[in-house]
Amino acid sequence: MPTYTDMTRCDGCGECVDICPSDIMHIDPVNRRSYNIEPNFCWECYACVKACPQQAIDVRGYADFVPLGHKVRVLRKEKKGLVFWKVTFRDGRVKEFTFPIRTTPWGSIKSPSAYEAPDPSELSSPMLAHEPAALKVETLPTLPPSN
Amino acid sequence: MDSDILIIGGGFGGCGAAYESRYWGRNLNIVIVEKANIERSGAVAQGLSAINCYMGMQWGENQPDDFVRYARGDLMGLVREDLIFDIARHVDATVHKFEEWGLPILKDPKTGRYMREGKWQIMIHGESYKPIIAEAARKSASKVYNRIMVTHLLMDELHSNRVAGAVGFDMRDGTFYVFRAKAVIVGAGGASHIYRPRSVGEGMGRTWYAPWSSASAYGLLIPTGAKMIQMENKIVLARFKDGYGPVGAWFLLLKAYATNAYGEKYEASWLDQIKSLVGKYADTQPMPTCLRNHAMLEEMKAGKGPIYMQTQESLDTMEKEETGWEDFLDMTISQAVVWASQNIDPKERPSELITSEPYVMGSHATCSGAWVSGPEDLAPEDYQWGYNRMTTVEGLFGAGDTVGGSAHKFSSGSFTEGRLAGKSAVKYVKDLQGDAPQVDEAQIKKLKELIFRPLENYKVGRNEIVAGTVAPSYISPLQGLQRLEKLMDEYAGGYSTFYVTNEPLLNRGLELLDMLKEDIEHLGAENLHQLQRAWELHHRILTAEAVTRHTLFRQETRWPGYYYRADHPKLDDAEWHVFTASEYDAKTGDWRMSKLPVHHIIK
C-alpha cells in the first residue's frame, strides 16, 4: 500500500488525485475509482485521506515494519475548524483526540493588495510588509554598534 | 507565459515570496509554479506541531543576535551570520501574521505568551498550517500553476549569467510550458532519497523528509553555474525508529530522555572523546545536534543498543498525553501508525530511537545551498554583490532550502526568507525598467526535445522485450534512483557505513556517478508520472554529485554525527574554518571548487 481505496465507497471524484503531493493517487481506467499507483513513494501524509468526501481512503502501514491490525482514522471538519483522530491498536485499545485547526473562517485572509500601497521609497529600506507594527517592537533590530 | 516574477515551488519559501512581492509590486505579474498542489505541497504538506524559529522580541525573550549565536554553535561555527540575523529580525512579524490569518498557536494560560517547546520553538495546532499559508499565497499571485514539473531554468540569450525563466511540463496532459520572467525565485525543495533509506521495499517512501522533496532547489540551480556552498553539510536526524517521529517536543517540552538498552544515560560519557575530535566546540551549549548523534552512534557501535526514548514518566496528565500524540498526528502520522500497530503505548513503555539516512537541505538544522548576496545593512562587503538573496546568477533569487549558509529557518524562517527574496525581486524588476531578458528559441527547442526524451526511449525500447521491467536499452526512473541511493550510501557516508567515508571511497563514488549520469540519458518513462520521476532523478543526481565533491574537498570531519572523513577524522579550524564552494560548468561538466571566508559579525 500504504494508502488504499475502498472499492465500495469510492465514487471516482478525483479529490485525492488533485491533492496528493506525490502524484500517486490516480483513477484506475477499468474500475473508475482511485488507487495508489506507487506505494513506495507514499509518505502516508494523509492528504488524500483528509480530502476524500466518501472516507474511502485508508492507510495500512508499511509492510516492512508495521504489523497488521491497526487503524489511524481521521475526520477533518474544515468549517468547524477541527480535526478528529481515532487510533486503534493491534490489541484493540482505542485512543481518540480532537484538535483545532484554524481560528478564522476559511477564505478570510486579506490579500496584500488590500493594504494601503507602501511609499515607493520604502522599497530600498530593510522593512518588510506591515513592519514595524507586526513585529510588536518599535524598531527593526540592527547590528549592535560594537560589532 | 510571460511574468515579471516567477516563483518556482509553492512551499513556505515560495508562499512567502508571493505574499511580499505582491505587497510591494502591486501591478506586477507574479506567477507561482508548483509540482503538486500548493494546498498540500512542500515539506509542511502534512502539517507541523511547532514553529521552530520565533524570537519573542515583544516579551524580551530572545534577540536576533542570540539566535545567530545558537545557529552558529549548532553548525560548528560555519554559517552566514548576516543571513541568519536578517531572518531572525523579521521572523516574529511573520509568525504574528500567521496567527492573525488563523493559525492556532498555543498560549501559556498564566503569562498569555506563546507556549514554548524550547528556547526557539513555540507549539501550534498545525494540521492546517499549509492550507492556511497557501490561501495567503493564492490571494497574492496573479496565477498559480499546479502540477507543472519545472525541469530547467532558462538563461538570457545575450547575457550568459542572467536568468530568463524556466521550462517544464504539465503532468496531467503533457503540455510543454515556457515561463519567461524578469526575475526568478527558486523556493523548491531540498533532497530526500539521495541516500538509501533505512526502510526497504514498500516502505522505501517512509523517509524523514518528504519523498517529493526531490532536490530541485539544487538541481535547477547547479546547471546555471550558480555558486553552491556547504553541500557536504548533509543532515542526519535522530528520530523514533521507522516512523521518523519527531523528538523535539519529547526532549524539550515533555522532558523525556534517551538511554541505552540498559537504562543508562550515555551522552556525558562520550564528552572527552568528542573533545578530542572537535576541541572547544564540544563545550557549546546546547550541545550541537551532530555531536548528540555522534554519542548515540558510538553507543550503538559499542553494542549497547537499542537506544530508547524513555517516555513513560512524561505522560502523567491527559494534557501531556494529548501533546505527545498531537506531535505525531500533526506532522508524522506514520509514527502513530507504528505505535498502534506494535502495541506501544508511550505511557507504559519506551520507544526505540535511531539515526536517519542523510538529507541535503538548507532550511532545517543544516545549511546546504546557493551562495547569495546578503542584506545591504548587515552583510560584509564580500557577501554583497547585488540584491538581498540573489544568487551569483543575475535575476535568480533563492528562499528556503535553496539558500545556503542560513540554517535553522524551518517553516517560519523559510517563509520569511521568501518575503526577503520577494521584496528584493520587486526592486530588481523595477530597476530593470522594462529591460526584459531574451530567450533563444533554439535553446527552448533543444530543451523540449530533451525533456520528453524518456517517453521516446520507452516507446522504442519497450518493443524489444516481451514484458516486465528488465530491458537492455533503458532503465526506469526507480531503477536509476535505487542505484543512486546504493552508491551514495556505500561510498559517500550513508547509514550502512555508519556515515564514514574517505578519499578513495569518494573517488570511486564519483566514477560510478559518472556512469549513472551517462545511463540516465537512457531513462525510459512509461507515462507522464514517470517522466516527473525521471526529472526528479536528474535533479537528485546533480545534487548527489555536488555533495560528493564537496565532501571530498573538505579535508576534515567538521560535523561528526552527520558524516566522517576517516582519513581526516578531526575538526581542523586552521585550514577549514571556511565555506566550501562549487561552480559547475554545464558545457564541460567541470566543477570548480573553492573556499569562501566565514565572517563573524556577531560577537
Question: Which pLDDT score is estimated for A146?
Answer: 44
Chain A segment 44-103 residues within 8 A of B by beta carbon are: 44-47, 59, 61-72, 74, 76, 83, 85, 87-91, 93, 95, 97, 99-103
Q: Which of B45, B135, B171 sits opposite A109 (nearest CB)?
A: B135
Q: Which of A43, A65, A112 sits opposite B211 (nearest CB)?
A: A43
Residues B484, B425, single domain; the answer is no
Q: Is B117 a catalytic residue?
A: yes
Question: Which pLDDT score is estimated for A1?
Answer: 52
Q: Which residues of A touch B334 (CB under 8 A)?
A: 43-44, 61-62
Query: Would residue B210 count as lying in a domain?
Result: no
Query: Would residue B602 count as lying in a domain?
Result: no
Residue A142: CB partners within 8 Å, gap ≥ 6? Answer: A126, B89, B377, B378
Place of cell 501533546: B323
Cell numbers standing for residue B17: 515570496
Give me the total of CB pairs closer than 8 Å, taking one residue from chain A and one from chain B: 261
Is A19 close to B23, i.e. CB distance below 8 A?
no
CATH architecture of A3-100: 2-Layer Sandwich (3.30)
Question: Which pLDDT score is estimated for A147?
Answer: 45
Q: How many CB atoms lie within 10 A of CB A21?
A: 28
Is A118 close to B23, i.e. CB distance below 8 A?
yes
| pLDDT bracket for residue B349 (50, 70, 90) | very high
Question: Which pLDDT score is estimated for B315?
Answer: 87
Catalytic residue chosen out of the listed positions B208, B250, B270, B559: B208
Least confident of A16-20, A63-67, B150-154, B240-244: A63-67
CA separation (Å) from A98 to A48, B48, B330, B335, B536?
A: 19, 16, 11, 18, 37
Is B24 close to A22, i.e. CB distance below 8 A?
no
Residues B76, B170, single domain; the answer is yes
Q: How far apart are CA B29 and CA B181, in angstroms?
A: 9
- CB contact at 8 A, B91 and B413: yes
**Residue B134, domain CATH:** 3.50.50.60
Is A38 close to B326, i.e. CB distance below 8 A?
no
Residues B470, B561, single domain; the answer is yes
Q: Helix or strand or coil: residue B556? A: coil
Q: Is B364 a catalytic residue?
A: yes
Task: Determine the residue among B69, B335, B423, B428 to mutate to test chain A binding: the one whose Cβ has the most chain A Cβ atoms within 10 Å.
Answer: B423
Q: Helix or strand or coil: residue B54? A: coil
The mean pLDDT of B200-227, rounded to a whole number, is 97
Query: Would residue B224 count as lying in a domain?
Result: no
| pLDDT, tens only, B414-450 | 999 999 999 999 999 999 998 999 999 999 999 999 9
Catalytic residue chosen out of the listed positions B89, B152, B193, B364: B364
Query: Can you give the three-state secondary structure of B570-583, one letter per residue?
Result: CCCHHHHCEEEEEE
Cell numbers standing for residue B543: 545534487
Pick the last residue of a domain from B381, B409, B432.
B432
Place of cell 575530535: B277
Residues B507, B490, single domain; the answer is yes
Q: Which residues of A touch B330 (CB under 8 A)?
A: 99
Is B204 close to A47, i.e. CB distance below 8 A?
no
Query: Would residue B428 count as lying in a domain?
Result: yes
- CB contact at 8 A, B556 and B565: yes
Distance from CA of A47 to the nearest CA of B (A): 7
Task: Domain ranges for chain A, please list them.
Answer: 3-100
Distance from CA of B504 to the nearest CA of A (A): 33
Residues B73, B10, single domain; the answer is yes
Residues B496, B577, single domain; the answer is yes
Q: Which of B46, B57, B342 sits opposite A67 (nearest CB)?
A: B342
Q: How far apart are CA B487 and CA B311, in angstroms?
A: 37
Catalytic residue chosen out of the listed positions B82, B327, B490, B545: B327
CA angle, corner B48, sides to B47 and B54, nearest 5? 140
Q: Which of A1, A71, A135 sits opposite B93 (nearest CB)?
A: A135
Query: Would residue B217 count as lying in a domain?
Result: no
Q: Which residues of A touch B533 (CB under 8 A)?
A: 41
| pLDDT, tens only, B522-544 | 999 999 999 999 999 999 999 99
Query: Would residue B123 count as lying in a domain?
Result: yes
Q: Which residues of A touch B85 (CB under 8 A)?
A: 143
Question: Which pLDDT score is estimated for B250?
Answer: 87
The mean pLDDT of B485-513, rounded to a whole number, is 98
| pLDDT, tens only, B111-148 | 999 999 999 999 999 999 999 999 999 999 999 999 99
Is B427 close to A66, i.e. CB distance below 8 A?
no
Is A45 close to B210, i.e. CB distance below 8 A?
yes
Interface confidence, given as ipTM, is: 0.97
Pick the last residue of a domain from B432, B449, B480.
B432
Strand partners of residue B163: B155
Distance from CA of A18 to the nearest CA of B (A): 7
The H or E element spanning position B169 is strand B163-170
Percentage of residues of chain B with pLDDT beyond 70 = 100
Place of cell 536499452: B473
Is B419 close to A63, i.e. CB distance below 8 A?
no
Residues B8, B106, single domain; the answer is yes
Residues B331, B419, single domain; the answer is no
Q: How far apart are CA A110 and CA A107, in angstroms?
A: 9
Query: Would residue B29 count as lying in a domain?
Result: yes
Residues B418, B455, single domain; the answer is no
Residues B504, B393, single domain; the answer is no
Q: Is B600 a catalytic residue?
A: no
Q: Which of A41, A72, A135 sits opposite B92 (nearest CB)?
A: A135
Question: Which pLDDT score is estimated for A145?
Answer: 52
Is A63 close to B92, i.e. CB distance below 8 A?
no
Residues B555, B497, single domain; the answer is yes
**Residue B558, domain CATH:** 1.20.58.100
Determine the structural domain holding residue B382 and report its residue range: 2-189+369-432
Place of cell 554525527: B561
- A129 interfacial to chain B (CB closer than 8 Å): yes
Query: Would residue B207 count as lying in a domain?
Result: no
* Averaged pLDDT in 10-residue chunks for chain A of 147 residues: 92 98 98 97 97 97 91 96 97 97 98 97 97 97 69
Pick the last residue of a domain from B355, B388, B404.
B355
Q: Is B411 a catalytic residue?
A: yes
- β-pairing verdict for A3-5 and A57-59: antiparallel
Q: Which of A89, A97, A129 sits opposite B326 (nearest CB)?
A: A97
Overall number of domains in chain B: 3
Residues B482, B551, single domain; the answer is yes
B36: nearest CA partner in chain A? A21
Q: Backbone phi, then psi, for A3, in 5-degree steps?
A: -85, 145
